[in-house]
Amino acid sequence: PARAPYQSPPPPAHPTTAAGGGLRVAQRLNEGVIGAAVAVLDAVYRDKPYRRFWVLETVARVPYFAFLSVLHLYESFGRRGPCEDDDGCEENPATGKMMSQHLHKRLRAHFLETLNETHHLIVMESLGGGDVFFDRFMAQHIAFFYFWIAVAQFLLSPAAAYHLSELVEVHAWESYDEFLKEDGERLRSEPAVAPALEYYGSADWREMLPKDLRDIEAPPMKTLEDVFRAVRDDEAVHARDLKWYQEVGDLAKAE
């Protein structure tokens, strides 16, 4: 069957805000951390978009690694979540017991999100991002500490950890959207880079999308404007998913 034409997803909604309590305190801390980080990026990488985006993508994929690490730990301890319905359960052939597949779905989702952010990183590297030692030094050290912060936060409060990552993804969408508006004419005059041509439309890209978006055509991929629009759109999908994870609340549920 013919696929539906590609359309950019709507801009990310306003980041999730808890009514109060400890989660709201954690969200305020997250907002302060992201605000400070954005101020540093603005100061250091003014008029250096590809270098900035490479640093941003290096950091943006870190929480997915952290989520995977914690979920693998839970899975190793047999914590796969309650087996509440036939759709989310299957029989363990070794024991004959029913076991939940919801945690496995969440693991798979975060793995595909990691792959997506890695392809963004490769795109930025093809444009010269990561060539400067200072950028590599700063991004890799931020990533190291961010990983352990994300692990600790995810262990204590998955909603708080997802909120921090949501803020990162919303900022990424805003950064790419602003770049497209400011440099669109120049980007339209330059061809798409090879990593983007290979990734968009592939099975890895399509499986990363929510179910309601998987049956669409691949985004146009002729110019750098197309590349950055597709990357921006991916960030909107991530932000939407992270908001949904917070709303669901239970790690045992995922799609």
214: tokens are 């998987």
Reduce the DSSP state of residue 47 to 3 states and report it.
coil
Considering the chain, what percentage of its residues have pLDDT values greater than 70? 88
Query: Is the Cβ–Cβ distance between 116 and 234 less than 8 Å?
Result: yes
221: tokens are 């991929």
* 175, amino acid identity: S
229: tokens are 């629009």
Please, is 239 exposed, middle or buried when counting C-beta atoms within 10 Å of its C-beta (0-12, 13-18, 19+)?
buried
Q: Which pLDDT band holds residue 27 (cuts at 50, 70, 90)?
A: very high
155: tokens are 């262990």
How far apart, in whole angstroms, are the C-alpha atoms of residue 99 and residue 49? 47
Q: Which regions of 23-122 does DSSP assign to beta strands (E)?
A: 89-91, 98-100
pLDDT (tens digit per residue) in 154-177: 999 999 999 999 999 999 999 999
* 14, amino acid identity: H
pLDDT (tens digit per residue) in 50-90: 999 999 999 999 999 999 999 999 888 877 665 555 455 66
Query: Is the Cβ–Cβ distance between 33 and 76 less than 8 Å?
Result: no
125: tokens are 């590297």
Q: Which of 34-43, 78-87, 136-145, 239-248 has the weakest average pLDDT?
A: 78-87
